[in-house]
Amino acid sequence: MDIQKIKAKLKNIFNLKTPNGLFYAALSILISIRLVYIALPSLVAWDATVYMGMAEYLASSGQIGLWEFFRPPLLPLLFSISKLIQVPIVFWAELLTFLASVGSLFLIYKIGEKIRPFAGAFAAFALGISTLFMSFSSVPMTEVFGIFFSLSALYLLFIKNSYFWAGMVSGLCFLTRFPYGLLAPIFYLSFLYFDWRNKDLWKVLFLRTIYFLSGFSILAVAYLISNYFLYGDVFSPLVSGVKVIEGAIWIYRRKLGFYENVLFLQNPLFIFSLVTVFLAWFRGYFSENKRVIYLLFIWFLVFFTYFYQEEHKEARYIITVFPALALLSGISISYFYEKHKRIFFLVGIVALALVSFLNTHFFVQPKNIVESFENFYSLLQKEYGKTVITSTPVVAVYSPVKVLPAYDRFEFFKNKYEENRLKAGYLLIDSCELHVCPPGEEDSCANHKRELLDEIFARESVIYDKTVGICRHVIAEIKK
């Protein structure tokens, strides 16, 4: 083995003076950070366990797990493959999420480099260090998969000019997270960016629209038709999903500027997206890229407006605009980098990236806490197929049981318990998951908690009762 040749090859690969070198250097750092993050102890996120529980339901034909019909079906389908290949579902789901996050960086790099040199490298860097994208890079929820499929659709549309397959992948986006259905009108609006005086282009517009909508409709329409046969209404999951996020709305109301803070203060590199739009529209820069800048700006505008007007606001919702902002940022950053190829410019970019990294919230917990929670949720491993009235879906990931949801409030749990007591074999309470209490009803909530626990201890056979941190964990076998 020629060491000198290897050194020369590595030096060429990581040559910061080339787009490839800059990208692979950034990618190596970003992957290393993610691998360290994955290795740290963490609790599986609530929504992630729902998708894995739905996968268990599919793989077992409804014998175990749970099914929330108002959630998009793609992730449960992907996660259910773990049963076919005989690997632990948590490992499989986190592996797919990690691969989707790395794949997103490759896709945005390829798209950006098509726009202009170094734009892809900086776009990948801007996306990779984004607080939410970083923290969700191994969390099996819709956030990372939505970015991956939306970038895949953009890659097929912009790089490959494959309008049918771009529509098909946009359909996958929709089945990953319903608001991504907005990609269809966003991409259609991008088709309208042409010289309207050229009559020949109207035929091109018509064909592009037909191809794209055909691809999108195959999956979207098939899903809507299946809803009719399964639930009696084509729009039932979508309508129910809206009602679900309207619950406990006082918890998710946010002050003016909430999303702006998430986007531009937590990741200062995204500020360059505004610079790109300003230079393109008011200074005449990037004239050869105005169509893609128009598309990316429409992408940002449509999704930002949609989530901004929603009363229920969560930081993770706005991750839908990250691909557009990262690419727009990459365009102007690459322009300044080419104009000022000095080390201080890269140092400045890295400094801004550190601001984003320091704002990142990681799903990391002390090892003893994680082990206590996992042991708690694993106590029913030998009770295959038994129905469990539970305050959390997490049990479905660690024990092969059928979940009967009794979420959010002790009052709701008590009602579910009384209605379904004879149908269930066990009940499981994680008090930290029954935290929702309307303002001004604190005394009533405390009474419901006391009454429920008193009834359970008096009526059922309690087999586990332990306090971990501020969370009380209780499992009881229901007496018949």
Rounded Cα gap, residues 388 and 380, in angstroms: 9
Rounded Cα gap, residues 285 and 271, in angstroms: 17
| Amino acid sitting at position 456 | I
Residues 114-141 have a mean pLDDT of 92
Task: With a cut of 60, say whether residue 1 has pLDDT above it.
Answer: no
Residue-range domain boundaries for the chain:
22-358, 367-477
**pLDDT category, 156, cuts 50, 70, 90?**
very high
Rounded Cα gap, residues 214 and 163, in angstroms: 9
**pLDDT category, 469, cuts 50, 70, 90?**
confident
Rounded Cα gap, residues 93 and 42, in angstroms: 14
- pLDDT confidence of residue 361: 64
- Residue 468 DSSP class: E
Tokens of 55: 């996968």
Phi, psi of 166 (to 5 degrees): -65, -40
Rounded Cα gap, residues 458 and 454, in angstroms: 6
**pLDDT category, 6, cuts 50, 70, 90?**
low
Contact between residue 377 and residue 399 where contact means Cβ atoms under 8 Å apart: yes
Rounded Cα gap, residues 332 and 199, in angstroms: 34
Exposure b/e, 327-355, CB count within 10 A at least 16 = b: bbbbbbbbbbbeeeeeeeeeeebeebbee
Mean pLDDT score across all residues of the chain:
89
Contact between residue 313 and residue 255 where contact means Cβ atoms under 8 Å apart: no
**pLDDT category, 53, cuts 50, 70, 90?**
very high
Task: With a cut of 60, say whether residue 343 has pLDDT above it.
Answer: yes
Tokens of 365: 């917990």
Residue 468: strand pairing partners: 471
Q: Which of 151, 158, 159, 157 is nearest to 104 (CA)?
A: 151
Across the chain, which distance is largest between two alpha carbons, in Å?
Answer: 81
- pLDDT confidence of residue 319: 95
- The percent of residues in the chain predicted with pLDDT above 90, rounded, is 62
Residue 461: strand pairing partners: 477
Q: Output 214 or 343, whichever has higher pLDDT.
A: 214
**pLDDT category, 358, cuts 50, 70, 90?**
low
- pLDDT confidence of residue 189: 87
Contacts of residue 116, defined as CB under 8 A and 6 or more positions apart, other chains included, come to: 286, 289, 331, 334, 335
- What is the CATH T-level fold of the domain 367-477, as seen in this structure? Translation Initiation Factor IF3 (3.30.110)
- pLDDT confidence of residue 356: 66
Tokens of 264: 């531009």
Model pLDDT for residues 224-272, shown as the tens digit of each residue: 999 999 999 999 999 888 888 776 566 677 777 888 888 888 888 899 9
Cut 0.75: pTM above it = yes
- pLDDT confidence of residue 451: 92
- pLDDT confidence of residue 357: 65
- pLDDT confidence of residue 364: 76
Task: With a cut of 80, say whether residue 345 has pLDDT above it.
Answer: no
- The Cβ of residue 401 has, within 10 Å, a number of other Cβ atoms equal to 28
Which of 10-19, 258-267, 340-349, 396-405: highest mean pLDDT?
396-405
End-to-end CA distance of the chain: 72
Task: With a cut of 80, say whether residue 377 has pLDDT above it.
Answer: yes
- pLDDT confidence of residue 360: 61
| Amino acid sitting at position 225 | I
Task: With a cut of 80, say whether residue 3 has pLDDT above it.
Answer: no
- pLDDT confidence of residue 241: 86
Tokens of 87: 């690997």
| Amino acid sitting at position 173 | C
Model pLDDT for residues 72-97, shown as the tens digit of each residue: 999 999 999 999 999 999 999 999 99
Rounded Cα gap, residues 112 and 155, in angstroms: 10
- pLDDT confidence of residue 480: 76
Taking CA atoms, 7 is separated from 17, 19, 27, 471, in Å, by 17, 19, 19, 54
| Amino acid sitting at position 262 | V
Q: Which of 337, 309, 323 is nearest to 108 (CA)?
A: 323
Contacts of residue 414, defined as CB under 8 A and 6 or more positions apart, other chains included, come to: 448, 451, 452, 455
Rounded Cα gap, residues 119 and 126, in angstroms: 10
**pLDDT category, 180, cuts 50, 70, 90?**
very high
**pLDDT category, 34, cuts 50, 70, 90?**
confident
- pLDDT confidence of residue 344: 58
- The Cβ of residue 11 has, within 10 Å, a number of other Cβ atoms equal to 10
Model pLDDT for residues 293-317, shown as the tens digit of each residue: 999 999 999 999 999 988 888 889 9
**Sequence-ordered alpha helix ranges (H) in 87-199:** 89-115, 119-128, 131-135, 142-158, 163-176, 183-191
Phi, psi of 298 (to 5 degrees): -60, -40
**Taking phi first (over 0 means left), then psi (-120 to 50 degrees means alpha), and beta for anything else, what does residue 84 get?**
alpha
